[in-house]
Structure formats: C-alpha cells, structure tokens
Amino acid sequence: MPPTLHPNRRRTAAAALTAALLVPLAACGEQSGGTKADAAAGAPASGSAAPRAANLTVLAASSLTDAFKAAGAAYEKARPGTKVTFSFAGSQELAAQVKQGAPADALVTADTRTMDGVKAETQTGEAKVIAKNRLVIATGKGNPFKIAGLKDLADTKIKVVLAAPEVPVGRYSKEILDEQGVTVKPVSQEPNVRAVLSKVELGEADAGLVYRTDSAKSGDKVVAVEIPDEQNAVASYPAAALKQSKNPEAAAAFVAWLSTPEAQKILQDAGFQQA
C-alpha cells in the first residue's frame, strides 16, 4: 500500500505539477504572435512569422501619386510577397468606382466630403485622415504675367485652368476664389489636379490652382505662388479599408500603417502636412 501524503505535501505536489504543465503553454503563447498594435500596423511581431502575403489594390487621389509610389515600395520591402497596386484618379472618379463595386481594397481621397459619400462601403464606416495639403497658384515658367496672388487671376488676359468643381481641388479652388471675391473664367476645367498642372507645364494655360505637393514635383517647369493661409484652404486626406476587399485584414493593416511614423515621414518628405 503506497504511503499516504500529508495534506500540505499533497497541495505542494499538485501546485508543482500544474506549474510544470503551464510553462510550455505559456511559451507557445509567447511565440504564436505579437501585440494588437503590431497587427494594426501591419508589421510582423517580434519572434513571429510575417503576416500572410497579399495583393492589395488601393484607389488614391491623383495628388498622392508620387508619395504613394514611395510608400508602396517601402511597405512591400518590409513585407516580402505583398504587392500593392495603386490606381490614381480624381477622388470623385474613385468614389464612383467604389459604388460600382470595383475590385479594390482601400480608398484614399483628397477630401472628407467625398469619403463621407462612400461611408457605407467602408469596413468600419469611419476613415482616418492621414495627411493634409494646401493650394498654390502654379504659373508658367518664369511667371511671365508676374502673378502675385489670387486677385491677379481675374485678369482676362491670363489663361487660367481649374479643376472641375466636383473634384476636391476644384471645389477648394472655387471656395477660396469666392471668398476673395475673385471671378475667374477658366479656359478649361480638368478631371484632376495633375491635369491642371500639365496644362500649365505645357504652356496651354498661364496659371492654375493646384496642391503645393504637385507644384513641387514640377521643378522649374512652373513657378509656385504661395497663397496666404488666411486666404487658403486645407485639404484633408482620409483613408479607409473597403468592405468589398478580398483581403480585409491586409487592407485594414495597410490603412493603419499609413498613420505610422514610417509612412508619415514619406508623406511629409513629399510636402504633405501632418494630419
């Protein structure tokens, strides 16, 4: 007959056995994944495998073209096997594509109004502003008409091109011109900011209202005339993951990453203001 253990000894033995069983389980838990913050940022957690690779399609406002190309390259480099494809156009065009069920994973517009119009198509019904921008007057090389401010655009001898009013930059343009009491008869109304800039670069227009970040990419092809803050408009860029995404977790992770210090540095290096 086996010896009978004293009650205190039985409790000690049971505790030791329980601890021994829990150690490997705890070790497995530590190795299985990282924090919620790691997942939200789309980054592999320390000691864990990288997130499953995914192909993402991101619809983005034309003014984000250069910054997002750099951001996409950085995102892919840190996540081998992941591919981010961008489709750039005017925000209103992108919103229409989303409503028509275009195969896309995330949307970034150049204004909150357009994003609000597709709230029902986003994963959470909310969007996060990831950057801001301001307008400038882009003039022809050397600024031959010596344009110094918005009031100069009323001169009928100056060929001014604007974005169409349904485009965010076109709406911002109309707002600031109206507030200053400046009447402009544009020679054309373009579908996005890059088309406005192109008209000025090619000499098909003498001036146009564009985002500061776009004019900066033109080098000496145009002269950017600053607009005082009190006469200017601030463009906000909201981002959201879409319900129609085939990779909802990866789409949400990319959108969350856009607010990380790494992504913010890329945007600010391109001339965007911090959100």
Hey, what are 194's tokens? 């890059």
CA distances from 84 to 70, 103, 110, 211, 245 (A): 11, 13, 20, 25, 13
Residue predicted with more confidence, 34 or 98: 98
CA–CA gap between residue 252 and residue 255 (Å, rounded): 5
Q: Give yes or no: residues 152 and 228 share one domain.
A: yes
Q: What is the pTM for the complete model shown?
A: 0.80
Domain of 78 in residue numbering reads as: 51-132+235-269
Q: Is residue 111 part of a domain?
A: yes
Phi, psi of 92 (to 5 degrees): -65, -35
Q: Is residue 2 part of a domain?
A: no
pLDDT digits (tens, 9 = 90+) for 131-159: 999 999 999 999 999 999 999 999 999 99
How many domains are there within the chain?
2
Among 159, 171, 156, 144, residue whose Cα is nearest residue 234: 171
Q: Is residue 11 part of a domain?
A: no
Placement of tokens 């970034």 in the chain: 108
Residue predicted with more confidence, 4 or 105: 105
Q: Is residue 186 part of a domain?
A: yes
Determine the angle formed by the axes of helices 65-78 and 261-269, rounding to 10 degrees. Answer: 150
Q: Is residue 103 part of a domain?
A: yes
CATH assignment of the domain containing 170: 3.40.190.10
Average pLDDT over residues 55-77: 97
